[in-house]
Copies of this chain bind each other. A is one copy, B any other.
């Protein structure tokens, strides 16, 4: 991470850094598949109409246009907001997934569980932890018509398990419920619940006093209403005691009760199955309009300023086809944000920078084909092997391996006698290409964590 991206906001990794990213991606994939999530990918491109359907973050969308005019004589397709059929890059994986579900509903078995690991693009001002091109890893479950609340619980647990398997510091899922918050606001007489949520969402940025001011000036809240809304947002418990704390505020509302019960179920299960990983945090609002119940943000303990590394929630109305509704719940891990931090803090490093375990040296220039035979035997047993391209002096060939980070060099003399040298220790032993194996630690690149 000595380097900076040559295009601001578009990070690229060196090969040894990419190995850490691959480890993260492989670990996530494995965890998601063990929990029965199917892989899908959606195209990188959506129509502007589809992306802006929920009308939120249009500022950040990259439109596409052909550099040259069309052969048909049509314009080059200048992307603009006015043309809903213009193309643009997706800014998250939830909106494209909802579109995919609606389009393919006839071919999917519901509840449909999928994971999706892809790049997304946002034309935001780049800063630490915020790139313009970045990878997200999402899991979602979507039902046909209805989706039992239990999936909200399950999704949180799967994510806690997935994050626990990564080379990152301790983390906390901070969970709230939109019904709880909205019901509470309604119960105290604040009817523009979306407006209150937007103000509460600014708590960490601007502080309590300014949020109270916003609630009074923009939403017409009394001092007492503002104080109660802030009191609710200050509740944060590692167990289900938040329920009693909310009840103590003396507000009654049907939706509030529903939200309390849902959040209680999530926290109760988490206390048991993912102890210490989850908190009820009633300040969590999430900016996006499409969430309707559970909402989640996740912080790395000690790295809170990095922002949320995993967010999402329940959306009951994002996808529909006529009268048919597809409610869903999902969470999205910010892979690039995590990997950036892993690399900059050296939470994990690769044991070597190439997959290669063995370089087969050349005795003379005519031995290349025989060397390929040796390499093929080793590869046949899963040992990554390269063959030298030139019959340089052995010292030079060893240096070549050393420079590339390859631990073993294989020699075959003119009589066909094989030896292998561990160039780190200098130890050289007789070896049979049909049976020799490196130690398990040297077979593959290992990711070592600190």
A residues near B, CB below 8 A?
A: 2-3, 5-7, 10-15, 18-19, 22, 33-45, 47-48, 58-68, 78-81, 87-89, 100, 103-104, 107-109, 111, 113-114, 119, 121, 123, 133, 148, 150-151, 154, 157, 269, 272-273, 353-356, 368-369, 372, 379, 382-387, 389-390, 403-406
Contacts and interface: CB of A to CB of B under 8 A. Distances in A.
27 contacts: A5-B43, A6-B103, A7-B47, A11-B43, A12-B43, A14-B107, A15-B38, A15-B40, A15-B108, A15-B114, A18-B39, A19-B38, A33-B355, A33-B384, A35-B386, A43-B133, A44-B133, A45-B121, A59-B67, A59-B68, A62-B65, A62-B66, A68-B81, A109-B404, A150-B389, A269-B369, A273-B372
A40 B13 contact: yes
Given A10-B45, A100-B12, A389-B151, A18 B36 contact: no
Nearest to A116: B18
Nearest to A375: B35
Contacts of A40: 12-15, 18
Given A150-B390, A273-B372, A369-B269, A34 B385 contact: yes
Given A10-B43, A34-B383, A36-B406, 17 more contacts: A3-B104, A7-B87, A12-B40, A15-B39, A18-B40, A35-B386, A38-B353, A43-B133, A59-B66, A62-B64, A63-B67, A66-B123, A109-B354, A109-B404, A113-B386, A150-B368, A157-B372
Contact of A45 (B61, B63, B78, B133): B133
A154 to B, nearest CB: 7
A88 B67 contact: yes
Given A3-B104, A36-B354, A42-B12, A67 B62 contact: yes
B67 A89 contact: no
Given A12-B41, A12-B42, A108-B15, A384 B119 contact: no
Nearest to A404: B109
A11 B410 CA distance: 46
Contacts of A404: 109
A274 B61 CA distance: 48
A370 B403 CA distance: 53
Contacts of A150: 368, 389-390
Contacts of A273: 369, 372
Contact of A148 (B15, B37, B389): B389
Contacts of A79: 65, 67
Contact of A7 (B38, B45, B121, B386): B45
A126 B18 CA distance: 33
Nearest to A402: B109
A322 B100 CA distance: 48
B63 A41 contact: no
Nearest to A37: B355
A253 B392 CA distance: 31
A389 B111 contact: yes
A20 B55 CA distance: 36
Contacts of A13: 40-41
Nearest to A405: B109
A108 B45 CA distance: 33
Contacts of A6: 103
Considering residues A6, A14, A63, A104, which has the most beta carbons from chain B within 10 angstroms of its beta carbon?
A: A63
A50 to B, nearest CB: 10
Contact of A36 (B38, B87, B386, B403): B386
A59 to B, nearest CB: 5
A446 B356 CA distance: 28
- In the A-B complex, list the 7 residue pairs whose CB atoms are closest, starting with the nearest: A36-B356, A36-B386, A10-B43, A15-B38, A33-B355, A148-B389, A150-B389
Contacts of A405: 109
A389 to B, nearest CB: 4
A195 B151 CA distance: 63
